[in-house]
Each structure stands twice: as C-alpha cells, then as structure tokens.
Amino acid sequence: SQTIHQWPATLVQPVGSPLSLECTVEGTSNPNLYWYRQAAGRGLQLLFYSIGIDQISSEVPQNLSASRPQDRQFILSSKKLLLSDSGFYLCASASSGSGELFFGEGSRLTVL
Amino acid sequence: GESVGLHLPTLSVQEGDNSIINCAYSNSASDYFIWYKQESGKGPQFIIDIRSNMDKRQGQRVTVLLNKTVKHLSLQIAATQPGDSAVYFCAEAKGGSQGNLIFGKGTKLSVKP
C-alpha cells in the first residue's frame, strides 16, 4: 500500500501571505496525484490532479496553484492567501490505471 | 458542484446495533462508488467500493448496497463499535477511476456505549 506524507499539519497564515503545502508519496511509482480541499461541514472538493511530472490539471479557478517537480512530490502553493482559502487540504494518490485512492493526513490552514 | 448527497447529516446508534448510512447520487453515468471513513482531524480512509454491475458487496462487518433504479447507495455496518465513530462519505466516479471523485457532504456517525 501507499503512504502519503503531508506537511505542515497545521498552518496559520495572515491574509496576503504565500503558501506552500507539500506532499510526498511512498510505495508506488508514477501515481496520479490529487489535491482536495475540505471546508467545514462539506465534502471534498477536487482542486488539482496530476498524471505525471509537470502535468497539472486544475478543476476550480482560484488563486492556488500546484506543481509536481518530481514523480512522487506534489506541492500546493499560493502567492497571496485569501480568507476563503482556509480549510483542510488533503493530498491523495492513486496508482495509474485503477486502485485505491490513498489520502494523506491533511493540512489544516487558517488564514487570518 | 456536488451531485452526491446524503439523506442524514448525523446518525447516532447504540454500540452493538447495526448502522445504515444512506447516499443519493444524481449522475446515472457514474459507474463506480466508494465509501470513505474520516476520523476527526485525519484524512479519509477507503472502506469499500462497488461497481455499477453489482448490487451488493460485502467486506468485514460492512456491506454496500447499490440501487441503480433510484440512484441510491447505502453502507451497512454490522455490530457497530465505538471505533466506528467518524464521518462517512460516499463518492461517485465515472469510468471506474477513483481520481475524479465527486464526494458527498458526509454523515457523522456517533456510537453510544
């Protein structure tokens, strides 16, 4: 099975500051990688997915961006955070072709 | 937007009883459905999945039922235990892939000792 590492686990940032959330995957190669956001009391919203290095698709227009500099590394970034960016961010990985979707433990972002 | 929803936002059951968590989906083209369990402050964990060519699938203490006629999905947990307390999400996908899942809002299951 895969192991997903996410950090930081908790982050409090002021409005207008930059953001970088990192995710690394162990136990597989060439996975499909995903960033989801979970607002309080809501389901999971897909933000970005990647089928390979430097191949990123955005599902929702916003001030966030994602990058995949290495096969098993996925980064979520922002140049200037908004209050509405607060939430619980989850990185997920799935082996190409099928298979179970594995989630990281999440990063809780609070923008003040 | 979300096309998968849940009938009840919260469910409270007595330890040892069976739990049934329901879910409705709206996309008749969806052919793959999954239940996830999310404990407080953690990421979701896969519980069980079912493809549209099946009506029922059983795991350890869990059963998923799919009714394509009314586009309804349910998760049954037998002999519910305190460790089952969590938020349960159903999700749907098309093409058998977990990648582009549409998640419901979740049902919070509380197990009373």
Tally A–B CB contacts below 8 A.
Answer: 52
What's the CA gap between A97 and A105, in Å, rounded?
24
Average pLDDT over residues A12-37: 94
- B13-29 burial, b for 16+ CB within 10 Å, e for fewer? beeeeebebbbbbeeee
Q: How many residues does chain B have?
A: 113
Mean pLDDT of B67-93: 94
Q: How far is A16 from chain B (nearest CA, A)?
A: 26
**B7 band by pLDDT with thresholds 50, 70 and 90:** very low
pLDDT at A47 over 50: yes
Pick B101 or A51 by higher pLDDT.
Answer: A51
Nearest to B98 among A41, A43, A94 (CB): A94
Distance CA B14, CA B111 (A): 6
Q: Check B103 against A44: CB less than 8 A apart.
A: yes
* Cα of A73 vs its chain's centroid, Å: 10
Q: What span, in angstroms and rounded, lies between the C-alpha atoms of A20 and A104?
A: 16
Find, in chain A, the residue whose alpha carbon is nearest to that of B37. A103
Residue with token string 């369990």: B37
Residue B93 pLDDT more than 50? yes
pLDDT confidence of residue A2: 85
- Mean pLDDT of chain B, nearest integer: 87
Mean pLDDT of A46-61: 88
Checking if the pLDDT of B95 tops 80, the result is no
Partner-chain contact A101 B99, CB within 8 Å: yes
**pLDDT at residue B4 tops 60:** no
Percent of chain B with pLDDT over 90: 60
Instruction: Among A43-52, B54-63, B69-78, B92-101, name the one with the lowest average pLDDT.
Output: B92-101
pLDDT mean over B26-46: 88
Statement: residue B6 has pLDDT above 70: no
Q: For residue A48, count CB atoms less than 10 angstroms from its CB and return exposed for 0-12, middle for 13-18, buried for 19 or more.
A: buried
Report chain B's terminal Cα–Cα distance, integer Å. Answer: 37
Q: Choose from A6, A44, A98, A108 for mutation: most chain B CBs within 10 A.
A: A44
Q: Is the pLDDT of residue A40 over 80?
A: no
* Chain A, window 50-109: residues with a beta carbon less than 8 angstroms from a chain B beta carbon: 90, 92, 94, 98-106, 108
Taking the C-alpha atoms of residue A94 and residue A30, their distance in angstroms, rounded to an integer, is 9
A14 in reach of chain B (CB within 8 A): no
> Which amino acid, B62?
V
